[in-house]
Chains A and B, each alone.
Chain A
Amino acid sequence: MMNWSVILSISRTHLLSRMKQTIIAALGVTFGIGTFIILVSFMTGLNGLLDGLILDRTPHVHIFNEIKPSKRQPVHFFDPYDDSFNLIHSVKPKFRGEKINNALPLMELLKSDDRVKGITPAVKAQVFYSAGMLELNGLLNGVNVMEEERLFNLEDYIFEGIPKVLHQTSNGILIGKGVAKKLSLTVGDNVQVISSKGDLFQLKIVGFYQSGLAEIDNVQSYVNLKTAQQILGEGDSYITSLNVKLHDLEEAPRMARQIERGYDLTAIDINEANAQFETGTTIRNLITYAVSITLLIVAGFGIYNILNMLIYEKMNDIAILKATGFSGRDVKYIFIIQALLIGLSGGVLGLIFGYFVSLLIDHTPFVTEALPTITTFPVNWNPMYYIIGIAFALASTFLAGYLPASRAEQIDPVEIIRGQ
């Protein structure tokens, strides 16, 4: 029969009567866990930020009509040449426009798919921003702005204005920050754009758009879907791309292939588009865990050493406990509990330490052109890491305590008592 309260009280007395060693052992764990929390919170925060920079605003599946040469050239349709080796020179792309045929029915169909979280239509229109004598190259993105906000966090890249205002202003424009700077425009001003057909349109600036990538900010602006269609002189059904967001990102490649097979369209999935980001994330996580585990192993050796020494010093105590009726298992638990108490107290302190340093990092200013809405370093406050941290602490101290404790279990009291 185990009598836990007695075992616990003996463990506690052992720890408290050698406070200094206990504190040193616990501090080892504290630094291990604290570093783990700081590293993992900061690293994953950074990962989230970087992923968000690209992945959040990238559609999981991007559907468009790519201009490309036909795979099957006329000669392939002519049976007598089936077995011959055909060489075709100067292949030209087939003209069929950028418009996605039957885009609206296709949208409805995709919306009814369980995997799809949402889908937004877009119209890209090449224009010139006109400023007196000067004409700047530009690209208008006609979108359903409320859907863009919901699915692709458009609001994170909008300055001095909110997407909703664009939604309410039929001739509004969220103008690229670079364009605005060049043309010395502010919110409320009007800007003239010239369509590729030479028509002139007057648009009202309702906000600035800044992606952080100068190339984009110098060219791209957002307008309502309808505005873009009008500028191009096209009707409601003119849509040049569909951006799909899925519930599960992993489904993207399969979905893209299905769409390509089913409809004569090009579908790019997010993994194709951003393969390198996944790799960066994985490697950063790997480094975080490797460093933390190394620290914990060092702390574990410290605990192992201290408990080993303790057991040498406590040979007499162990013999007395065994002589007066404590079993080998009781003695083993006494020492394992000491290790776990060190792990628990050191671990909890480490969590607190890690929490406060993370708080400090979270309040450290961090200003970058790339991320207009970010003002401090990113920290991930996922409570899961705290649970992993304390589990780490208990597991490593248990392992460190187990060997010395098993040795204590095996000690023969007769040998100790005779040896006196």
Chain B
Amino acid sequence: MTGHAIPSVLRAEKINKYFTDPVSFHVLKDVSLEIKKGEFVSIMGKSGCGKSTLLYVLSTMDTNYSGKLYLDNRLLTGQGGEALASIRNEYIGFIFQFHYLLPEFSVVRNVMLPGLKLGLKSAEEVYQDAMEKLRLLGIANQAEKLASRISGGQKQRVAIARSLINSPKLIMADEPTGNLDSKNADNVFHLLRDLSHQEGLSLLVVTHDQDFANQTDRIITMEDGRIMSTA
């Protein structure tokens, strides 16, 4: 690791994972990778190559693997559910393929929830932060609507705003544009890239979209549970 001026945000060492149901299946094979501060990395590969599985392992939500996972050089492997939940809350933002907002809450409330959970700021401050993120994404005018009442593209932007609320070190996204038309997909891409460049945020995106991947800093290609290239 010597010689790198830029510190690593996320590092995985020899991750192995098996599915046992319905049949035993070696889904991740000795996967090692590193993501640096401010880097915009995409993971590509065919369906079933294990890229989503890898993302969930890296996200700390899936703890059933062997190998070692570090965030900011801090070992995450073996930590309890409570600790991992608070690490996700504070350091990792998520954007899913499907919009995954809480439908009964208003847009701004959805954005606020992880901030309220973190509890470092007052509700009023979190509200101001949330409005600022919504403005950044151009949907501040939808703030008070119920999350179930806005369009797909808007939902995806709300999800991005939510992932930013606690100023995380790393944002992970699973096919963030998979569900959007090309114009919206382009918008989302540019938003993410700007965030990465301007705020030094690291991004890890799983995608099928070759055009999207080509514009990122680095593409990790996976095949049959192995990393083929990290160029």
Interface residues of A (CB under 8 A from B): 1, 3, 5-6, 9-10, 13-14, 17, 316-317, 319-330, 413-414, 417-418, 420
Chain B nearest Cβ from A8, distance in angstroms: 11
Q: How far is the CA of A17 from the CA of B98 in the complex (A)?
A: 22
Is B128's beta carbon under 8 Å from chain A?
A: no
Secondary structure class of chain A's binding surface, majority of residues: helix
A420 x B116 contact (CB < 8 A): no
Could you say which residues of chain B place their CB within 8 Å of the CB of A420? Answer: 97-98
B127 beta carbon closer than 8 Å to chain A: no
Residues on A with beta carbons closer than 8 Å to the beta carbon of B40: none
Given A1-B119, A5-B116, A413-B61, are A327 and B85 neighbors across the interface (CB < 8 Å)?
yes
- Give, as a whole number of angstroms, the nearest-CB distance from B47 to chain A: 12
Taking CB atoms, residues of chain A closer than 8 Å to B97 are 420
A13-B105, A414-B56 as given contacts; A325 in contact with B100, CB under 8 Å: no
24 A-B pairs (CB sep. < 8 Å): A5-B123, A6-B119, A13-B109, A14-B104, A319-B100, A320-B102, A322-B61, A322-B85, A323-B94, A323-B96, A324-B117, A325-B85, A325-B86, A325-B117, A325-B118, A327-B82, A327-B86, A328-B82, A329-B82, A330-B85, A413-B61, A414-B56, A417-B56, A420-B97
- On whether the beta carbons of A417 and B96 are closer than 8 Å, the reply is yes
Given A320-B101, A320-B102, A323-B59, A328-B81 contact (CB < 8 Å): yes
Is B88 engaged at the interface, CB distance under 8 Å to the other chain? yes
Instruction: Please indicate the chain A residues that have their CB under 8 angstroms from the CB of B85 in the complex.
Output: 322, 325-328, 330
Q: Is B52 an interface residue (CB 8 A)?
A: yes
B104 nearest in chain A by CB position: A17
B154 contacts the other chain (Cβ, under 8 Å)? Answer: no
Given contacts A14-B104, A17-B104, contact A325 B90 (CB under 8 A): yes
Q: Are B89 and A325 in contact (CB under 8 A)?
A: yes
What is the CB-to-nearest-CB distance from B98 to chain A, in angstroms, rounded to a whole number? Answer: 5
- Known A-B contacts A6-B113, A317-B102; the reply to A326 vs B89 at CB < 8 A is yes
Q: Does B155 lie at the interface of the complex (its beta carbon under 8 Å from any beta carbon of A)?
A: no
A328-B81, A420-B98 provided; 5 other pairs, C-beta below 8 A? A323-B61, A324-B89, A325-B85, A327-B82, A417-B100
Residues of A within 8 A of B90 (CB): 325
A407 smallest CB distance to B (angstroms):
15
B162, CB-defined interface residue at 8 Å: yes
Q: How far is the CA of A314 from the CA of B38 in the complex (A)?
A: 35
A232 to B92, CA, bound (A): 101
CA of A329 to CA of B100 in the docked complex: distance in angstroms?
21
Docked-complex contact B117 and A326, CB < 8 angstroms: yes
A27 CB to nearest chain B CB (Å): 22
Q: Which residues of A contact B88 (CB under 8 A)?
A: 323-325
Say how far B190's CB is from chain A's closest CB, in angstroms.
24
User: What is the interface of chain B, defined by CB distance below 8 A to chain A?
Assistant: 52, 56, 59, 61-62, 81-82, 85-90, 94, 96-98, 100-105, 109, 113-114, 116-119, 123, 162, 166, 174
CB distance from A332 to the nearest CB of B (A): 12
| Measured CA separation A14–B105 after assembly (Å) | 9
A320–B104 alpha-carbon span in the complex (Å): 13
**Are B100 and A3 touching (Cβ within 8 A)?**
no
Please pick, from A13, A327, A417, the residue contacting B81 in the complex, using a CB distance under 8 A: A327
Residue of chain B at shortest CB distance from A10: B113
Q: Given the complex of chains A and B, what is the CA–CA distance between A16 and B103 in angstroms?
A: 13
Q: In the bound complex, what is the Cα–Cα distance between A316 and B110 (angstroms)?
A: 14
Q: Which 10 A-B pairs have the closest CB atoms?
A: A325-B89, A327-B85, A17-B104, A6-B116, A324-B114, A325-B88, A3-B119, A414-B56, A327-B82, A414-B62
Q: How far is the CA of A10 from the CA of B81 in the complex (A)?
A: 21
Q: Select from chain A the residue with minimum beta-carbon distance to B90.
A: A325
Which of A13, A323, A325, A414 has most B Cβ within 10 Å? Answer: A325
User: Inside 8 A of A413's CB, which chain B residues have their CB?
Assistant: 61
Q: Which residues of B contact A317 (CB under 8 A)?
A: 102-103
Closest-CB distance, A177 to chain B (whole angstroms) = 70
Q: Which residue of A lies closest to B115 (CB)?
A: A6
Nearest A residue to B105 via CB reads A13
Nearest-CB residue, chain A, relative to B118 = A325
Task: Tell me the complex Cα distance, A9–B81, Å.
Answer: 23
Instruction: Check A1 against B113 for contact (C-beta < 8 Å).
Output: no
Interchain CA distance A326-B61 in the complex, whole Å = 11
Q: Please report the C-alpha to C-alpha distance between residue A240 and residue B132 in the assembled complex, in whole angstroms.
A: 95
CA distance in complex: A323, B82 (Å)? 12
Shortest distance in angstroms between A309's beta carbon and chain B's nearest beta carbon?
Answer: 15
Judge whether B162 and A324 touch: CB under 8 Å.
Answer: yes
With a cutoff of 8 Å between Cβ atoms, the chain A residues found around residue B94 in the complex are: 323-324
Partner of B100, one of A14, A320, A326: A320
Q: Distance in Å from the Cβ of A320 to the closest Cβ of chain B?
A: 5
Whole-angstrom distance from the CB of B49 to the nearest CB of chain A?
14
In the complex the two chains form, what is the Cα distance from A321 to B86 in whole Å? 12
B29 CB to nearest chain A CB (Å):
19
On chain B, the residues within 8 Å of A3 by CB distance are: 116-117, 119
Closest to B52 in A: A418
Instruction: Return the chain A residue nearest B103 by Cβ.
Output: A317
In the complex, what residues of B have CB within 8 A of residue A327's CB?
Answer: 81-82, 85-86
Output the nearest chain B residue to A6 by Cβ-Cβ distance: B116
Identify the interface centre among A1, A317, A323, A413: most chain B CB within 10 Å of its CB: A323
With A and B bound together, what is the CA distance between A321 and B174 in angstroms? Answer: 17
Q: In the complex, A381 Cα to B101 Cα: how many Å?
A: 50
* Smallest Cβ-Cβ distance to B96: which chain A residue: A417
Which of B61, B113, B114 sits near A414, CB closer than 8 Å?
B61
